[in-house]
């Protein structure tokens, strides 16, 4: 079978994971004033103290990395779908796929490293 | 009812003379019950014999007169002028196809895509050519694909599809509906062959359910539904969750299969 | 006979938005694309900006570059885009996996299509998206503090 079904199935699955994880992320970051979730040091959910408190928890670090990977796949595959529907030349399509894959991998490595490093730093302080 | 004058804004294009299509306006005398197709005939007879379009049956069966009428792809013979407007109507060729002339789109690209999805029952050759029995199909199995057989290949869904507005390779609603029609047929064994076509770059996953094909279909075939059911089957098959039923068996002759009680096969009309 | 060049009548990207009289699913489709692109753009920047916290650079807090009102408004737009994209996404998963389009039926005029079958779902998820957005706006406007 051609790979279309495979990639699309995981695109959908990633969407469902994002619905939950990104939903929680949005609720924590943007509804802190109402819900006070995971923000022990004050109502401003994105203050430095609150960010570092979350970074010190290993479950948040793991969730950040998972959210980043799943989000990048869902988003970049979606962008590729839109671009490929423009009827590009085969060489351009290959270049688009390569470029998006590299962008995704680079950002995943950067973000995962940063999440882990932030956990180490915050954990050291906590 | 008194005769009305309705302005027809018709797209004209002659590839031998015109660099690009332009709009020409005709004032058409409209009576109650006139269809857009009748209006075009009236123009050709009374105003402009050079106007070109394609039609055949003039009763919604042949699928030749698909046009963009007031911004909606539909059959000209199936559309009452006075249901649309008392004053102005725009008539253009179906979008997403090349224009041959005036209101005539080149549907060849659609028919080539249709041929590419294997729109026929796939069974071992011996079973198809052996004339000793029929395939057994229950009414429920018939209903699983019957709706999709009513397609008349008019191309209205292709003109409405947003993906086809840019993507040349996308098979489009009509061919994918034909694909699902045969996939859902209990006599067929060709899922693996068609799954190759359906999951490729121009296949079912270029559909994002804008719902236009289902909305404009003049025969109620609902291509959108067919494509979503096709995707469901492809995904379930990929996840190994698909219900793998064997294709229906052949009846071994009169009396075999599920017959109602007290029912006998009629006598053969052809001598054995 | 001379070669005849035909007019290519493809509608192009404008055709995504609609070249005629389209239904609300068409607009849900185009809005899903736009919000998806918006969220992706934010995600790419967000990854880089938040990674800077390792170097003790917090651009989004008081006095930081991204604390300016224009960026705060931009972030709220991302919340709004997420609300639409996520709840419309629930509908799309159900529809595209064939759960919300109904079974094949006999086409009898006036035709009933799968568009009508999934329409209540579309309305329901849009109401939920609006609720999510309202709670987000309540916080964004600082009413919660």
Domain CATH for C89? 1.20.1300
Average pLDDT, chain A: 89
List the one residue out of B156, B53, B37, B153 whose CA is nearest residue B96.
Answer: B156
Within-domain flag for B266:
no
Span A3-18, pLDDT tens digits: 889 999 999 999 999 9
Write out the residue range of the structural domain in which residue C104 sits.
23-140
Q: What pLDDT is stored for residue C1 in this prediction? A: 46
Q: CB C25 to CB B97 under 8 A?
A: no
Out of A81-90, C54-63, C74-83, pick the least confident: C54-63
Interface residue C142 vs chain A (CB under 8 A): yes
Q: Which helix (H) or strand (E) holds A118?
A: helix A90-125
Beta carbons of B158 and B174 less than 8 angstroms apart: yes
Within-domain flag for C95:
yes
List the one residue out of A84, A38, C88 whose CA is nearest residue B211.
Answer: C88
Confidence of residue A1 (pLDDT cuts 50, 70, 90): very low
Interface residue A2 vs chain B (CB under 8 A): yes
Tokens of B68: 């963009």
Same domain, yes or no, for B215 and B168? yes
Q: CB B238 to CB A2 under 8 A?
A: no
Residue B115's alpha-carbon distances to B22, B157, B166, in angstroms, are 33, 17, 21
Does residue B60 surpass a pLDDT of 60? Answer: yes
Within-domain flag for C77:
yes
The CATH code of the domain that includes B51 is 3.10.20.30
Q: What pLDDT is stored for residue A126 in this prediction? A: 47
Strand order in the sheet with B4-12: B22-30, B4-12, B88-92, B66-69, B72-75
Within-domain flag for C101:
yes
Tokens of C51: 């990674």
Same domain, yes or no, for B88 and B136? no
Does residue A82 surpass a pLDDT of 90? Answer: yes
Does residue C143 surpass a pLDDT of 50? Answer: yes
List the one residue out of B217, B211, B219 whose CA is nearest residue B150.
Answer: B219
Q: Which chains touch A (3 or more CB pairs under 8 A)?
A: B, C
| Domain locations along chain A | 4-125
Tokens of C17: 């938005």
**Angle B33-B37-B41 (CA atoms, 0-180°, nearest 5)?**
100
Chain A residue with minimum CA distance to B194: A1
Within-domain flag for B270:
no
Within-domain flag for B58:
yes
Same domain, yes or no, for B138 and B18? no
For residue A6, the distance in angstroms to the closest alpha carbon of chain B comes to 7
CA distance C132 to A113: 32
Same domain, yes or no, for B47 and B115? no
CA distance B114 to B47: 38
Confidence of residue A40 (pLDDT cuts 50, 70, 90): confident
Does residue C67 surpass a pLDDT of 90? Answer: no
Same domain, yes or no, for B183 and B158? yes
CA distance B42 to B29: 8
Same domain, yes or no, for B83 and B97? yes
A78-87: average pLDDT = 94
Within-domain flag for C11:
no
The CATH code of the domain that includes B148 is 1.10.1060.10
Tokens of C79: 């919340």
Span C76-126, pLDDT tens digits: 999 999 999 999 999 999 999 999 999 999 999 899 999 999 999 999 999
Write out the residue range of the structural domain in which residue B48 sits.
4-105
* DSSP strand pairing (B4-12 vs B88-92): parallel
Question: So what's the ipTM on this one?
Answer: 0.90
C18-41: average pLDDT = 87
Same domain, yes or no, for B43 and B61? yes
Within-domain flag for B252:
no
- Alpha-helical segments (H) within B47-155: 81-84, 108-116, 125-129, 139-146
- Specify the CATH class of A4-125 in words: mainly alpha
CA distance C70 to C75: 9
Q: Using only C-alpha atoms, what is the Rg of chain C? A: 22
Same domain, yes or no, for B27 and B140? no
Q: Which helix (H) or strand (E) holds B105?
A: strand B104-105
Within-domain flag for C67:
yes
Same domain, yes or no, for B29 and B142? no
CA distance C145 to C138: 10
How many domains does one find in chain C?
1
Q: CB C22 to CB B210 under 8 A?
A: yes
Same domain, yes or no, for B141 and B98? no
Q: What pLDDT is stored for residue B126 in this prediction? A: 81
Within-domain flag for C16:
no
Same domain, yes or no, for B231 and B134? yes
Q: CB A6 to CB B206 under 8 A?
A: no
Interface residue C144 vs chain A (CB under 8 A): yes
Within-domain flag for C86:
yes
Span B220-257, pLDDT tens digits: 999 999 999 999 999 999 999 988 788 888 877 666 76
Does residue B99 surpass a pLDDT of 50? Answer: yes
Residue C18's alpha-carbon distances to B221, B222, C30, in angstroms, are 22, 20, 9
Task: Decide which of B264 and B108 is more confident.
Answer: B108
Within-domain flag for C9:
no
Q: Which chains touch C (3 or more CB pairs under 8 A)?
A: A, B
For residue A2, the distance in angstroms to the closest alpha carbon of chain C comes to 18
Same domain, yes or no, for B216 and B134? yes
Out of B154-158, C54-58, C128-132, C141-145, pick the least confident: C141-145
| Exposed e or buried b per residue across C84-99, where buried means at least 16 C-beta atoms within 10 angstroms of its C-beta | bbbbbbbbbbbbbbbe
Interface residue A114 vs chain C (CB under 8 A): yes
Q: What pLDDT is stored for residue C55 in this prediction? A: 86
Beta carbons of C50 and C75 less than 8 angstroms apart: no
């Amino acid at each position: 079978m051609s790979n279309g079904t495979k990639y699309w199935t995981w695109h959908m699955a990633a969407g469902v994971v994002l619905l939950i994880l990104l939903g929680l992320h949005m609720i924590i970051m943007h509804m802190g004033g109402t819900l006070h979730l995971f923000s022990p040091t004050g109502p401003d959910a994105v203050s430095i103290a609150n960010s570092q408190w979350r970074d010190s928890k290993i479950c948040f670090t793991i969730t950040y990395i998972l959210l980043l990977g799943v989000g990048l796949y869902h988003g970049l595959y979606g962008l590729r779908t839109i671009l490929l529907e423009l009827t590009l030349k085969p060489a351009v399509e290959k270049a688009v796929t390569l470029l998006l894959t590299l962008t995704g991998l680079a950002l995943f490595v950067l973000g995962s490293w940063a999440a882990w490093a932030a956990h180490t730093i915050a954990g050291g302080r906590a | 009812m008194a005769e009305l004058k309705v302005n027809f804004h018709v797209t004209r294009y002659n590839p031998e003379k015109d660099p690009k299509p332009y709009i020409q306006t005709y004032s058409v005398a409209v009576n109650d019950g006139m269809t857009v197709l009748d209006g075009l005939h009236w123009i050709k007879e009374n105003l402009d014999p050079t106007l070109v379009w394609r039609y055949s049956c003039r009763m919604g069966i042949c699928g030749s007169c698909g046009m963009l009428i007031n911004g909606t792809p539909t059959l000209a013979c199936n559309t009452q002028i006075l249901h649309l407007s008392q004053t102005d109507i725009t008539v253009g060729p179906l979008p997403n196809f090349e224009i041959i002339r005036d209101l005539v789109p080149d549907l060849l690209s659609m028919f080539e895509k249709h041929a590419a999805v294997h729109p026929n029952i796939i069974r071992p050759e011996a079973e198809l050519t052996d004339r000793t029995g029929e395939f057994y199909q229950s009414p429920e199995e018939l209903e699983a694909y019957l709706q999709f057989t009513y397609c008349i290949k008019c191309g209205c869904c292709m003109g409405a599809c947003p993906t086809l507005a840019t993507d040349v390779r996308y098979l489009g609603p009509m061919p994918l509906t034909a694909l699902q029609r045969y996939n859902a047929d209990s006599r067929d064994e060709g899922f693996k062959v068609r799954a190759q076509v359906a999951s490729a770059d121009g296949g079912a996953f270029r559909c994002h359910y804008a719902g236009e094909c289902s909305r404009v279909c003049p025969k109620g075939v609902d291509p959108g539904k067919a494509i979503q059911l096709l995707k469901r089957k492809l995904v379930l098959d990929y996840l190994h969750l698909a219900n793998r039923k064997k294709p229906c068996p052949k009846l071994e002759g009169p009396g075999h299969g599920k017959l109602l009680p007290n029912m006998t096969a009629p006598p053969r009309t052809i001598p054995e | 006979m001379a070669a005849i060049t035909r007019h290519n009548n493809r509608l192009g990207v404008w055709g995504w938005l609609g070249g005629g009289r389209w239904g609300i699913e068409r607009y849900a489709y185009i809005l899903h694309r736009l919000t998806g692109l918006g969220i992706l753009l934010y995600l790419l920047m967000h990854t880089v900006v938040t990674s800077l916290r390792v170097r003790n650079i917090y651009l989004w807090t008081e006095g930081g570059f991204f604390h300016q009102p224009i960026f705060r408004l931009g972030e709220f737009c991302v919340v709004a885009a997420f609300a639409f994209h996520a709840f419309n996404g629930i509908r799309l998963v159900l529809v595209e996996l064939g759960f919300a389009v109904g079974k094949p039926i006999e086409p009898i005029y006036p035709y009933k299509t799968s568009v009508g079958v999934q329409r209540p779902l579309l309305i329901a998820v849009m109401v939920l998206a609006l609720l999510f957005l309202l709670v987000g706006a309540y916080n964004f406007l600082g009413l919660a503090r």
